[in-house]
Structure 1
C-alpha cells in the first residue's frame, strides 16, 4: 500500500474517533474484531517493557449495573456499549525492582540472560529511586504505572477507529468504590491490582459534531 494512502487512512481514523456517549445497543462488535483491538493493547509499549496492565472485559449485565452505581461518567456507555473494558494497573509492591512480578517479567517474559537481567533490574531500581524518584510515594508510583496503561488504551482506540468502531475513555468513577466492588465480585485481586481507567467500545448511535482541536502552531514548538 502506498505510504501516503496509509497516512491518510490513519489521519481519517483520528478524525472519525470521538468520545462516544451513546452507543447503538443493537450493534455488536464481532469476536474477531475485538480480539484485534485487544491484540493492539497487548503489543503496546510500556516503561521498561513491564506491562503493568490487565484488560478486564465486562459483558455481564449484572456487573455492569453494579458498576454504574459508582461510575456516573459511564452510565450511558455501560447500558449501551457492545464491549466495556476496565483496565487494571499493578500496585506499587509489584512494580518495585525486587518484586516477584518484575523477576518473572525479566526472566520468563523478556527471557534475559542473567547478566543482562541484573543490569536491567539495577537500572530500573535507579530509575525508581533516583531518576524519577517515585518509589517512596505509593500514590505517585501507582499513577506512574497507570500512565503506561493509557498508552495501551490509546492504541486500542486508534485501532478500533481504523476499522470503524467507536470508543470512549472514562475516568468518571469513584476509584475506591470500584476497587471494592471488583474485589468483592472476585474480578480483581487487590493485592496486585487497582483500577486505572475504563473504556467502552461499540458503534455510535448519533453522528458527532465536528471535531475541534487547537491549531498545530499552538501545540507544537520546534527547537533547532
Structure 2
C-alpha cells in the first residue's frame, strides 16, 4: 500500500468514527425540505455495493423509491415507516435473492463467477463444488427453500449497516425498517413493475436529515455484557 493510500485510510480518527455511531439513531421523521445531494447519495450506494458478501456473490439489490405516489401506496402496509416514507430524502428497499438465483448452476451464480469475478474455467468448476458443499453439507441450506433467502438477507444487512455508518460519518441520518407486511409490500412492488425475478424484501432503509434531535442519549448494554473473551 502506498504512503498516500495509507494516509487516506487513516484520515478518519477512531474518535470521529465513534462520534458517528453516537450521532446515528433510528430517525422516525426527517426534514422534508432537506435533500441529500446526488454526490452524497451515490457515495452511500457505493458503500453498499462495495460491501462484503459470502463467496463474493452480492445477493442483493437496492431499489431507491423516490416516487411519492408509490411511497403513499406503501404507507398503509408499512407500519414501521409511517414517518419515514413521506419525509425521507431517499427511501431504499433492499432486496435479497431467493433460491432460484442462489443454486450453484443458476444463471446468476454463473454470471457472478464468469462475468463479474472473471474466474478461469477450471476455477469455476472447483469453486462451484466448494459452494455446493457449503449449501448441501455445511450450512444445509437445501433443508428448506426459505433458508436460501435468509442467508442472503444476512449478507444484505452487512451492506445496510455499512451504508448507515457511512451516512452517519458525513452527517446524514438513517433508519432501518422491518415493520411492514412483506406479502402486501411485494404485491404493490410487483404491480408497479419494481419487483421481478428471484428477489424478496430483506429490509427498508430511509435516509435524510433529522427533523429534530432524538432528545435522549444512546443507550446500549455494557461492554462486559456483550463481549466474552476466550484466552
Shorter-chain TM-score tier: over 0.9
- For 1:29, the equivalent position in structure 2 comes to 36
- For 1:145, the equivalent position in structure 2 comes to 152
The CA deviation at 1:64 is 0.2
Distance of 1:13 and 1:116 partners within structure 2: 41
**Residues 157-168 of structure 1 mapped to structure 2, 5 A cutoff:** 157-168=164-175
Query: After the TM superposition, which of the residue ranges 28-37 and 191-200 deviates more from structure 2?
Result: 191-200
Distance of 2:45 and 2:224 partners within structure 1: 34
Among 195, 211, 218, the alignment partner of 2:201 is 195
The CA deviation at 1:136 is 2.9
- For 2:104, the equivalent position in structure 1 comes to 97
**Residues 11-50 of structure 1 mapped to structure 2, 5 A cutoff:** 11-50=18-57
SS in 1 for 2:218: coil
SS in 2 for 1:143: helix
- Indicate whether 1:217 and 2:224 are aligned: yes
**Residues 108-187 of structure 1 mapped to structure 2, 5 A cutoff:** 108-187=115-194
State the Cα RMSD in Å.
1.3
Distance of 1:61 and 1:215 partners within structure 2: 41
- For 1:74, the equivalent position in structure 2 comes to 81
Would you say the 8 A contact 1:165–1:201 is kept in 2? yes
Matched residue count: 223
Distance of 2:129 and 2:19 partners within structure 1: 43
Would you say the 8 A contact 1:96–1:135 is kept in 2? no
1:78-126 CA deviation, whole Å, 9 max, x = no partner? Answer: 0111000000111111101111100000000011111111111110100
Would you say the 8 A contact 1:169–1:197 is kept in 2? yes
The CA deviation at 1:5 is 5.5
1:138-172 CA deviation, whole Å, 9 max, x = no partner? Answer: 11221111111000000000000000000000000
Structure 2, gaps ≥5 residues long: 1-6
Q: Which runs of 4+ in 1 moved over 3 A?
A: 1-5
- For 2:210, the equivalent position in structure 1 comes to 204
Distance of 1:108 and 1:136 partners within structure 2: 30
SS in 2 for 1:167: strand
SS in 2 for 1:69: helix
